[in-house]
Amino acid sequence: MADAGGETPGAGEASDPAVRVLRISQLDAFELDGALEQLVWSQFSQCFQHFKPGLLTPLEPELKALLQLLLWRFTVYSHSATAGQALLGIRYHGDAASGPRRSRLLSRRQKLGLALCAVGGRWLKERSHSLLLRLPADPHAHAARRALALLTGLASAASLLNFLQFLRRGAYPTLAERLLGVHAAFSRPQGAQRDVSFHFVNRELLWHGFAEFLIFLLPLVKVWKLKASVLALFSAPPSPARGDASGDDGCTECGLCGEWPTLPHAIACGHVFCYYCIKGHSISDMYVTCPRCGADVSALEPLRLPVEMVDLHHD
Q: Is the pLDDT of residue 243 over 70?
A: no
Range with the lowest mean pLDDT among 156-160, 213-217, 293-297? 293-297
Find the largest Cα–Cα distance for the chain: 101
Q: Is the pLDDT of residue 305 over 70?
A: no
What's the rounded Cα separation, in Å, for the pair 178 and 192? 29
Residues forming a β-bridge with 91: 185
pLDDT of res. 162: 92
In the chain, alpha helices (H): 23-46, 60-74, 76-79, 83-88, 108-115, 121-133, 139-169, 175-180, 192-217, 223-234, 275-284, 307-314
pLDDT tens by residue, 220-239 = 776 666 766 676 676 655 55
Whether the full predicted model's pTM is greater than 0.75, yes or no, is: no
pLDDT of res. 187: 81
What's the rounded Cα separation, in Å, for the pair 193 and 177? 29
Q: Which residues contact 90 (CB under 8 A, 6 or more apart)?
A: 21, 25, 26, 29, 81, 184, 185, 186, 187
- Half-sphere CA count of 79, side-chain side, radius 13 A: 16
Residues forming a β-bridge with 183: 93
Residues forming a β-bridge with 49: none
Q: How many residues does the chain have?
A: 315
Q: Is the pLDDT of residue 161 over 90?
A: yes
Of 2 and 50, the one with more pLDDT: 50
What's the rounded Cα separation, in Å, for the pair 41 and 271? 60
List, in order of start, the domains of the chain with CATH numbers: 23-190 (no CATH), 223-314 (3.30.40.10)
pLDDT tens by residue, 13-22 = 445 555 788 8
